[in-house]
């Protein structure tokens, strides 16, 4: 049997990739529960491993104003996932929730609740942010040093895992005949004495059905990769070429041994977009139209402004790139998304060269730079490519990112999934009930023994 | 019995019921208390019983060392969200201690439950145990760098939390999303507003990430039993819950609440006062007494009612509830079943039909007609307010 592919679906996000000018898009399309339900049911129909939701902590800004040209606004991640637990039965439910502006006690409790209510289908994408921009909406403000972000993530995950382990696996007896609900001294007190997480807590929930909900990590830096190797069950990585994918895969999986873990204990799942057509030419035609919708004039201008770090509203996006240089000394005009440009002068030089070589306007250049889609072609071609990446160890599968809400996954499930199933590299039925089982991950007990600085004591509190 | 005005019935659910031995009854589904199927069945039964809302008790109190009671407790916010798509008419009211919570997260989580339920969320504000009490310190230790504050400070903060959450709910005007392809604008940014709140213990700078929800302003529920809580409830709540040891105490408390509401300048009809009543039902009086005896025999000690309670057969229970409304002047009752499973079924099958036949239950249809979705505001006869930022234009 070929290596099995793992597929997930990303709910279309708050960025240029999501096409909101489609006639099907209504003012409530990005928030209506029907949208989430449709995508979840479609993913479940396609036997996908999980649905993935991103998170927002503050609306994005550019030049001191709200970004208004992309999708803006979304519901709360945790409560949407809890609502989806009631209308799905097998699909994993994954969400990004920030570890900086939430307490480990409540994060552990929310994911334990989601895992119980979904009978073992919860996953948490742990991210951190340290900036005062997001902190302005929270009690602590931007309190965290940038350098401490991964330490914070590690301590929060370890505290959450200790809280999930606090009730003995067999704590709940619920024996009506004898009247024993929970075994004596079976609910441990968790003490952490971390620099960033110093708590003493006794959680209100028994060990979750999965033991530990699945942990996803998305950082690509060296520290991010190390954290993934240490604590994560899956990595949400960036999609690149086959060679880049193989290098990333080998690097991250190669780090597992030092934590006593095996390569199959951590799944590498790049995000991937797709455009299908009945013929290669039709797919090419569709992608050109999608790119025109994604990179509308305001999007193109805003993107170039991010690199130039200045107001370019006087420039015609159908004209050439600015001849003036990017502003590098000034504070960033962009707030609320990850900085993407390390060396603006070098990038500007590359863009100018590319634009000169191909004769591109600003908008055409931006399409060239950010309009790229991962898999473009006939369903047969896309299935071939996905399978090739997985069989060549460039990934363990993909988190698919549709460009339309909520019907963007329909065609993939109808046309590509059956081809992958025919090849024997993707399941035709769910064989397990939990997300851990879908992902082929080991039982969570493994982590409970490797925590450091965290202990579950068994001393009892007085009877209330 | 005199001619009475119709009243609201609500329920509050916790564990397997208020009685410590409720989980041991044969129909209690003790093994399923943490499953979606269990809560869907329970709350659909409450919905069938005509309950205007189901409140889900919660707190930051850790489990005790007792082995004979239900120690497991789901996060009420997640539970209410689960039930949104699984129910159609009943309000869903998580109890939320705000003391260690982030107001920004609360605002978007509640707005989201409003979205997934089609406008049926309510929010019951609570605080953690105060400083100077054993539980206060134990609860605070669960949160990094926090220590317990006194009750007065906690309720002052709760007042601020309600204010900022309400601002966040209004921060997107209803027509903020314009989808104007001609000008490349997804939103009209002049219709999304910074809340710019700075309080004693926290601040929130800008707008919610979640557009305005179906109710605009979800119903806010608060307790009015203590002076600190009452002061907050009077200015910030749409529904005020009270509990009392006896009928006279309840009547006095309700009068105090109504006077406080009137003194605050809010219109009398804009605030609903609901009375907690512990209930244990039986097909008849003997059956109800028998169930209580059975529960008491299973528990380490006999049931000690915490306040007003009705242990009765279905006939007398309906009258007893109506009498409590008459005698205390409340707008409705929050039933706290001693045992969920049997009580909710009897309520739906026997008690509610009697109350309905007597015209005693408020059961407002949706403004859009009997088949239209009904929000929790609709159920309480409260209009959907426009955003304060729209009003200020």
8 Å CB contact of B115 and A182:
no
Half-sphere CA count of B207, side-chain side, radius 13 A:
26
Residues 181 to 200 of B: which have CB under 8 A from any A CB? 181, 184-189, 192
A15 interfacial to chain B (CB closer than 8 Å) = no
8 Å CB contact of A185 and B177:
no
8 Å CB contact of B28 and A182:
no
Query: Which of the four pLDDT bands, split at 50, 70 and 90, describes residue B25?
Result: very high
Strands B8-13 and A334-335: unpaired
Is B362 in contact with B39 (CB distance < 8 Å)? no
A451 interfacial to chain B (CB closer than 8 Å) = no
* Exposure string over A17-30, b if 16+ CB within 10 A, otherwise e: bbbbebeebebebb
B contacts of A74 (beta carbons < 8 Å) = 209-210
Assign 3-state DSSP to chain A and report helix, strand, coil percentages, each to 5.
Answer: 40, 15, 45
8 Å CB contact of A198 and B108:
no
CA distance B132 to chain A (A): 16
ipTM field: 0.97
10-residue mean pLDDT series, chain A (464 residues): 97 94 96 98 98 96 94 98 98 96 97 98 92 90 85 94 93 95 93 93 96 93 92 92 95 96 96 97 96 95 93 94 90 75 89 95 93 92 98 98 97 98 98 97 62 38 31
A contacts of B209 (beta carbons < 8 Å) = 56-59, 73-74
Strands B122-126 and B91-97: parallel
Report the pLDDT averaged over residues B53-70. Answer: 96
Q: What percent of chain B has pLDDT over 90?
A: 91
Report the pLDDT averaged over residues B158-177. Answer: 98
8 Å CB contact of B189 and A65:
yes
CA distance A390 to chain B (A): 35
Nearest to A340 by CA among A375, A378, A385, A309: A309
8 Å CB contact of A201 and B142:
yes
The model carries a pTM of 0.96
Q: How buried is residue A240: exposed, middle or buried, by Cβ count under 10 Å (0-12/13-18/19+)?
A: middle
Residue A331: per-residue pLDDT? 85
Rounded Cα–Cα distance for residues A122 and A372 (Å): 31
Cα nearest neighbour of B28 on chain A: A176
Cα nearest neighbour of A296 on chain B: B184
Alpha helix stretches (DSSP H) within A330-401: 344-358, 362-370, 379-391
Nearest to B166 by CA among B113, B205, B110: B110
Residue A338: per-residue pLDDT? 58
Nearest to A447 by CA among A140, A208, A171, A196: A208
């Amino acid at each position: 049997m070929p290596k099995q592919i793992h597929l997930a679906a990303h709910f279309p996000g708050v960025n240029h990739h999501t096409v909101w000018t489609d006639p099907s898009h209504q003012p409530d399309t990005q928030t209506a529960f029907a949208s989430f339900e449709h995508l979840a049911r479609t993913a479940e129909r396609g036997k996908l491993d999980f649905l993935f939701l991103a998170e927002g902590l503050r609306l994005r800004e550019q030049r001191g104003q709200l970004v208004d040209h992309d999708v803006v606004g979304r519901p709360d991640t945790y409560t949407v996932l809890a609502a989806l637990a009631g209308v799905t039965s097998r699909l994993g439910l994954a969400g990004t929730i920030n570890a900086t502006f939430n307490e480990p006690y409540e994060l552990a409790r929310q994911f334990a609740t989601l895992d119980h209510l979904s009978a073992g289908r919860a996953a948490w994408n742990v991210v951190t942010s340290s900036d005062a921009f997001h902190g302005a909406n929270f009690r602590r403000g931007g309190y965290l040093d940038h350098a401490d972000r991964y330490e914070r993530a590690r301590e929060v995950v370890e505290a959450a895992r200790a809280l999930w382990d606090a009730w003995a696996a067999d704590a709940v007896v619920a024996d009506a005949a004898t009247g024993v609900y929970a075994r004596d001294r079976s609910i441990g007190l968790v003490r952490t004495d971390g620099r960033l997480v110093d708590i003493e807590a006794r959680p209100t929930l028994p060990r979750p059905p999965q033991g530990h909900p699945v942990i996803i990590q998305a950082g690509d830096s060296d520290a991010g990769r190390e954290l993934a190797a240490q604590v994560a069950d899956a990595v949400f990585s960036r999609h690149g070429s086959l060679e880049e994918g193989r290098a990333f895969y080998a690097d991250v999986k190669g780090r597992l041994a030092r934590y006593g873990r095996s390569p199959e204990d951590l799944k590498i799942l790049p995000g991937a977009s797709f455009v299908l057509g009945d013929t290669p030419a039709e797919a090419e035609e569709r992608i050109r139209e999608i790119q025109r919708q994604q990179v509308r004039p305001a999007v193109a201008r805003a993107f170039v402004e991010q690199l130039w770090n200045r107001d370019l509203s006087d420039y015609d996006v159908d004209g050439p790139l600015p001849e003036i240089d990017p502003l590098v000394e000034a504070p960033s005009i962009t707030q609320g998304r990850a900085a993407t440009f390390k060396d603006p002068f070098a990038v500007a030089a590359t863009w100018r060269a590319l634009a000169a070589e191909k004769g591109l306007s600003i908008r055409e250049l931006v399409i060239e730079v950010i309009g790229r889609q991962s898999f473009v072609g006939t369903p047969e071609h896309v299935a071939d490519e996905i399978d090739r990446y997985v069989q060549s160890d460039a990934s363990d599968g993909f988190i698919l990112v549709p460009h339309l809400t909520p019907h963007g996954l329909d065609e993939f499930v109808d046309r590509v999934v059956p081809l992958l199933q025919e090849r024997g590299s993707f399941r035709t039925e769910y064989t397990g009930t939990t997300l851990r089982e879908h992902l082929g991950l080991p039982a969570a007990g493994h982590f409970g023994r490797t925590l450091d600085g965290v202990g579950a004591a068994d001393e009892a509190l007085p009877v209330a | 019995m005199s001619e009475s005005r119709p009243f609201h019935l609500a329920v509050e659910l916790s564990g397997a019921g208020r009685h410590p031995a409720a989980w041991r009854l044969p129909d209690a589904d003790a093994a399923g208390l943490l499953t979606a199927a269990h809560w869907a069945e329970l709350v659909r039964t409450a919905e069938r019983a005509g309950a205007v809302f189901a409140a889900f008790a919660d707190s930051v109190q850790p489990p005790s060392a007792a082995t004979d009671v239900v120690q497991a407790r789901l996060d009420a916010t997640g539970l209410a969200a689960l039930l949104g798509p699984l129910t159609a008419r009943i309000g869903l009211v998580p109890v939320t201690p705000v003391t260690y919570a982030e107001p920004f997260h609360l605002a978007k989580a509640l707005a989201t439950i409003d979205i997934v339920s089609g406008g049926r969320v309510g929010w019951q504000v609570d605080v953690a145990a105060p400083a100077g009490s054993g539980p206060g310190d134990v609860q605070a230790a669960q949160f990094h760098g926090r220590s317990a504050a006194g009750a007065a400070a906690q309720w002052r903060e709760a007042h601020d939390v309600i204010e900022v959450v309400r601002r966040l709910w209004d921060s997107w005007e209803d027509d903020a999303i314009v989808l104007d392809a001609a000008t490349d604008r997804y939103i009209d940014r002049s219709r999304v507003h910074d809340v710019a709140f700075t309080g004693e213990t926290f601040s929130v700078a800008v707008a919610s990430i979640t557009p305005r929800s179906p109710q605009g302003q979800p119903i806010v529920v608060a307790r009015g039993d203590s002076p600190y809580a009452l002061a907050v409830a009077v200015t910030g709540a749409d529904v005020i819950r009270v509990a009392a040891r006896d009928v006279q105490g309840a009547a006095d408390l309700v009068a105090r609440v109504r006077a406080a509401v009137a003194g605050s300048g809010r219109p009398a009809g804009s605030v609903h006062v609901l009375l907690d009543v512990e209930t244990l039902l039986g097909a008849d009086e003997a059956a109800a007494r028998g169930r209580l005896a059975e529960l008491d025999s299973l528990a380490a000690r006999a049931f000690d009612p915490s306040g007003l309670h009705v242990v009765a057969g279905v006939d007398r229970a309906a009258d007893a509830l109506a009498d409590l409304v008459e005698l205390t002047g409340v707008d409705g009752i929050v039933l706290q079943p001693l045992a969920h499973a049997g009580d909710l079924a009897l309520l739906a099958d026997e008690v509610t039909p009697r109350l309905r036949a007597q015209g005693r239950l408020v059961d407002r249809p949706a403004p859009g007609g009997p088949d239209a979705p009904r929000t929790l505001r609709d159920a309480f006869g409260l209009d959907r307010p426009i955003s304060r930022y729209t009003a200020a234009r």
